[in-house]
Structure 1
Amino acid sequence: MGEESLKRRKGEDRGREDRQSIQSHEPQTMNLQKQVGLISGISMIVGTIIGSGIFVSPKSVLANVEAVGPCLTIWAACGVLATLGALCFAELGTMITKSGGEYPYLMEAFGPIPAFLFSWTSLLVTKPSSFAIICLSFAEYASAPFYPGCDPPQAVIKCLAAAAIVVITIVNSLSVKLGSYLQNFLTAAKMIIVTIIIVSGIVLLAQGKTENFKDSFKDSKISVSSISLAFYNGLWAYDGWNQLNYITEELKNPYRTPAVPGSCCGKLLNFVIEHLKKAVCIEVILVYVAGREGHVLEILSYISVKRLTPAPAIIFYGAIAIIYIIPGDIDTLINYFSFAVWIFYGLTVLALIVMRFTRKELRRPIRIPIIIPVIVTLVAILLVLAPIISAPELAYLYCVLFILSGLIVYALFVHFKFSWTQKILKPITMHLQMLLEVVPEDEVTE
């Protein structure tokens, strides 16, 4: 009996181990987890805002107004506008706790068409052009030491920018960890450079070198066009104040955390490097959210089976960014980006105003004075219309055509879902899925 009991006990133990092994290998679907806290949220916002803009925008703002006085005034105004916009997004983020930034707010207020146009514009205009601007900025500064006394040739800058795009795309497609290491390294380098600039400026002021502040408004060039373009460049440096709303579903406490932009951004500098790992994939969160509604190509919301990276979306952004750097330069792309992004910033803040009257039942843990979204909406309208009226350029026309072309795509592929469009998309999706070894996010196992 003793031996039989021992054998039976061993058999039960083996069975329990087998069941545990089977359970440990059961597929676990990939969902957005509530893991981002207050400090992580602050880190994400400031880490996104402190980017290439601070190294590129000052020169362009000054070139548009041609005097230090109006330049500093515009910088201050851009900071105020970004803060007001962040307050509007704080109310939206605590009222509608869905990821995707502007996308869910436009969906709730105006329906699927404006939301689709936002995702369409983000895919083809704002995200790739932002990527292109950052890489062109890097290329310009990296090549400058090799051409002392003159500007580097545009061909060199564009080739170096394209190489940077390819490297970043490959790194982030191959490994989330490797991508985060690269992000941390670049962030550390960026913070060191910014610190050097700030300290150098303080030292120069302490030494009494204030000649540039004397008659600071003299010989300034003030016009509707110059001020609008200066605002575009200044706001490019501040852009990123809305990034936390792209991952609202991952916030532990949405009421507390989206309120960060308007209050305690100064706390984060000691934590930037540690908490920026999630920021690598912020740009593709929109693809994930829009993919749930069927508003983007299905393949773009797929995830690599082996590497657990959103490889199709990353590769797509990289390819479009390379296309943008071929004809464009930094200033043109900033104008192009800003024109597009402020159309949807304005519409999103307008959605906040509209939902004050149409969605009164929604809980609003943060409720800002109505005058704030009204001001932001009016400024957005001015920023969009002023450059077109006073200094029209082909870049604005191309941008409008890209946005409006989304209506055709929406009608064919989303609204009517014609059978012939599905016959085209299914084999393309299948072949790309096999080539890239990717599957829908809910089929990925940990």
Structure 2
Amino acid sequence: MKNCFHKEKKEDEAVYLRRKITLLRAITMTISSIIGSGIFISPKGVLKNSGTVGMSLLVWFACGILSMFGALSYAELGITFTKSGGIYIFLKETLGALPSFLYLWSEFIVTGPANRAVIILAFAHYLLEHFLAPCAAPALAVKLVALLAFYVTVALNCWSVSWSARLMNFLSFTKLTALALIIVPGMMVLSKGQFENFQDAFDSSSLTFDRLPLAFFAGMFAYSGWGQAVYFREELVNPRRTILLTVIVSLVIVTAGYILTNISYYTVLTVEEILTSDAVAVTFADHISKWLAPVIQILVVLSCFGTLNGGLFAGARETFVASREGQWPSLFSMIHIRRHTPLPAVLLRAPLVMLLVFSGDLYNLLNFFSFSRWLFVALAVTGLIVHRYRHPEVPRPFKLPLFIPVIFIIICLGSVAMSLYSAPGNCSIGAAIILTGVPVYYLLIYRPIPPRCRALFNDLTFKLQILLEVVSQEICTY
């Protein structure tokens, strides 16, 4: 049952999230979200754990195919269900309210804020390193610049959907430019017959099959972000067509770009140089030209900024939909009366990120929860299969062969099992904190709030509405 708040208003005067994201914008936003700092800074993780140049290239290709499987599974779910929200809405519609709330809880408490904090710290570190080299950037300066960058993206997402999308278009172009600046020189060197680093590409003495799963984890991290379009499904122009084309086009471009980029790395750099570099793209650029290294470094900075903006844009929609579904305070399902942006949902992302930026153990904190995302992704795609069998009567304009989601689920669960095996302490702590959402759900969501508390809560919500100039959406968009 649709729970939108209706008014007799002309559509152009009503408050709701407009369909402003075209196919081109959806593709560029997805590409911008996928291409983060990973491909530029540390592809050595794939090489180190795969053992050889040839096997590492196969891993990059396999990760691209696996990402396509996951993205196509998301596309079927996103076309079947007409609401925004991504994983959250998929879990709620297929597996029920509790799994969806636990995902929402984990994303809100630590996983989402920690991811954003890591990204903005990387942004600030590489930006200041560029301008202060050879001196090290002061830790406090890195944190302050990181927060400044984050609040710029918050302000932009509060101000305008169109301008956020335009920024993503520009940053997507800069990321592809960065890949081109690596691919073109590398191919030129390769065309001159420099094949030395590809000799014995599959040397059996260097293969490390027992560590191959770790190579896949590193590769899949670089591809993360492929499900971006389903998080703002209600703002897409012609969503059924746009979601499917966005998935296919963006992942074909990114997979081809990643493989060609790695071929360029291996053409110019030796295995030893890659394994000892903390920023492979910068090391590569130093070998090509003196002017190329600072350019690549700035493009890596912009790449981090684009990933941050894309994550904030999608995460705010997730909170917005959860609030509209009754699993989060109603204030966060409201929209600014003039800007038509989910302003409260965007602002909600700020305090915890600020707190984590100044925490001293951020990267370990993020490791506690790295396994949880794969678990929830696996559950979401499992929900696709469950929903097919429970509701065969539901129209499915796009339907995948069953082996695609099954393979993806097996790989995801394998990564979860590997995380539990390799770091049982961290994973146990992460799981325990996620499970704290269970009592929250049963005390505040499952059972009705007492009337007196509800009256106080409604009064606070009303006052914040006036302060923020927000109201519930007035036209159903799903």
- Scaled by the length of structure 2, the TM-score of the pair is 0.74
Do structure 1's residue 138 and structure 2's residue 123 form an aligned pair? yes
Do structure 1's residue 289 and structure 2's residue 274 form an aligned pair? no
Q: Which residue of 1 aligns with 2:357?
A: 325
- Three-state SS of the structure 1 residue aligned to 2:43 is helix
Distance 1:180 1:38 in 2: 11
Matches within 5 A, 1:18-417: 28-33=13-18, 36-62=21-47, 64=49, 67-146=52-131, 148=133, 152=137, 155-176=140-161, 179-180=164-165, 182-216=167-201, 222=208, 226-260=211-245, 263-265=248-250, 281-327=313-359, 332=364, 335=367, 338-394=370-426, 396-417=427-448
Q: CA deviation at 1:238?
A: 1.2
- Three-state SS of the structure 2 residue aligned to 1:258 is helix
- Three-state SS of the structure 2 residue aligned to 1:418 is coil
Distance 1:151 1:231 in 2: 33
Q: Quick check: which has more Rg, 1 or 2?
A: 1
Q: CA deviation at 1:294?
A: 1.0
Distance 2:319 2:163 in 1: 22
Q: CA deviation at 1:313?
A: 2.0
Change (3 A) 1:125 1:70: farther
- Three-state SS of the structure 2 residue aligned to 1:259 is helix
Please tell me the residue identity of whatever aligns with 2:151. Answer: V
Do structure 1's residue 418 and structure 2's residue 449 form an aligned pair? yes
Q: Deviations over 1:205-251 (max 9, x none)?
A: 23444444334466858475x54444333222212221222233344
Change (3 A) 1:69 1:307: same
Q: CA deviation at 1:156?
A: 4.6
Change (3 A) 1:36 1:308: closer
Distance 2:20 2:129 in 1: 42
Distance 2:51 2:459 in 1: 55
- Three-state SS of the structure 2 residue aligned to 1:439 is strand
Please tell me the residue identity of whatever aligns with 1:99. Answer: S
Distance 2:435 2:94 in 1: 20
Task: Note if contact 1:291-1:297 (Cα within 8 Å) is conserved in structure 2.
Answer: yes
Moved more, 234-243 or 425-434: 425-434
Task: Note if contact 2:38-2:222 (Cα within 8 Å) is conserved in structure 1.
Answer: yes
Change (3 A) 1:433 1:177: same
Distance 2:250 2:156 in 1: 30
Distance 1:24 1:426 in 2: 25
Change (3 A) 1:25 1:243: closer
Task: Note if contact 1:125-1:399 (Cα within 8 Å) is conserved in structure 2.
Answer: no
Change (3 A) 1:167 1:31: closer
Distance 2:473 2:143 in 1: 35
Change (3 A) 1:215 1:160: farther
- Three-state SS of the structure 2 residue aligned to 1:257 is helix
Distance 1:195 1:309 in 2: 34
Distance 2:362 2:187 in 1: 29
Q: CA deviation at 1:136?
A: 2.3
- Scaled by the length of structure 1, the TM-score of the pair is 0.78
Distance 1:333 1:197 in 2: 33
Distance 2:108 2:418 in 1: 25
Unaligned runs of 5+ in 2: 1-7, 255-306
> Alpha carbon RMSD of aligned pairs, Å?
3.6
Please tell me the residue identity of whatever aligns with 1:316. Answer: L
Q: Deviations over 1:36-62 (max 9, x none)?
A: 554444333323223334334524444
Task: Note if contact 2:79-2:396 (Cα within 8 Å) is conserved in structure 1.
Answer: yes
Count of residues in Structure 1 that have an aligned counterpart in Structure 2: 412
Q: Deviations over 1:8-60 (max 9, x none)?
A: xxxxxxxxxxxxxxx99999433355555544443333232233343345244
Unaligned runs of 5+ in 1: 1-22, 270-275
Task: Note if contact 2:68-2:251 (Cα within 8 Å) is conserved in structure 1.
Answer: no
Task: Note if contact 1:103-1:115 (Cα within 8 Å) is conserved in structure 2.
Answer: yes
Q: Deviations over 1:318-368 (max 9, x none)?
A: 322233333478865765564222111100111111122111111122222
Task: Note if contact 2:356-2:362 (Cα within 8 Å) is conserved in structure 1.
Answer: no
Q: CA deviation at 1:416?
A: 0.7
Q: CA deviation at 1:370?
A: 1.3
% identity of equivalent residues: 37
Q: Which residue of 2 aligns with 1:5?
A: none
Change (3 A) 1:68 1:362: same
Q: Deviations over 1:69-99 (max 9, x none)?
A: 4433332221111011112122222322322
Task: Note if contact 1:144-1:151 (Cα within 8 Å) is conserved in structure 2.
Answer: yes
Change (3 A) 1:43 1:175: closer
Task: Note if contact 1:130-1:337 (Cα within 8 Å) is conserved in structure 2.
Answer: no
Change (3 A) 1:433 1:293: same
Task: Note if contact 1:94-1:254 (Cα within 8 Å) is conserved in structure 2.
Answer: yes
Task: Note if contact 2:316-2:346 (Cα within 8 Å) is conserved in structure 1.
Answer: yes
Matches within 5 A, 1:1-20: none
Change (3 A) 1:213 1:141: farther
